[in-house]
């Protein structure tokens, strides 16, 4: 089991938004769902390695800013071409008003 790593204050990410988080030489995307839940995925699109934090969040989906590929950030599943490879996902939670992620527990 990995360790929970503190990312930021929960209020730092608006509902239906995404932010970039770099940790230990890796980059992640941290999402805030419409209901306030948090999710984490690899930060780079599996198609062209563009950072997803520059993309648009709609509901539970992230659109890649380069070629408009679409992922479900809850599962990492690709939803629209040109992406065809899923994103790795990571446990994320809000604890004491802080967003925390387990970056060593890819799902």
Q: What is the per-residue pLDDT across 43-95, written as a single tens digit (0 to 9) for each?
A: 999 998 899 999 999 999 999 999 999 999 999 999 999 999 999 999 999 99
Residue 1 banded pLDDT, cuts 50, 70, 90: low
Q: What is the pTM of this model?
A: 0.94
Sign of the CA dihedral with 11 first, then 28, 90, and 5 last: negative
Average pLDDT, the chain: 96
pLDDT digits (tens, 9 = 90+) for 16-52: 999 999 999 999 999 999 999 999 999 999 998 899 9
The β-bridge relationship of strands 61-63 and 56-58 is antiparallel
- Nearest Cα residue to 55 out of 74, 31, 79: 31
Domains and CATH numbers, the chain: 5-101 (2.102.10.10)
């Amino acid at each position: 089991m990995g360790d929970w790593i503190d990312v930021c204050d929960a209020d730092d990410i608006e509902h239906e938004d995404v932010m970039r988080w770099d940790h230990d030489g890796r980059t992640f995307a941290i999402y805030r769902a419409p209901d306030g839940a948090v999710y984490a995925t690899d930060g780079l699109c599996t198609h062209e390695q563009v950072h997803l934090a520059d993309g648009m969040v709609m509901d539970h989906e992230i659109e890649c800013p380069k070629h408009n590929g679409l992922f479900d950030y809850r599962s990492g599943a690709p939803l629209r071409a040109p992406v065809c490879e899923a994103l790795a996902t990571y446990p994320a939670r809000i604890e004491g008003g802080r967003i925390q992620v387990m970056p060593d527990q890819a799902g």
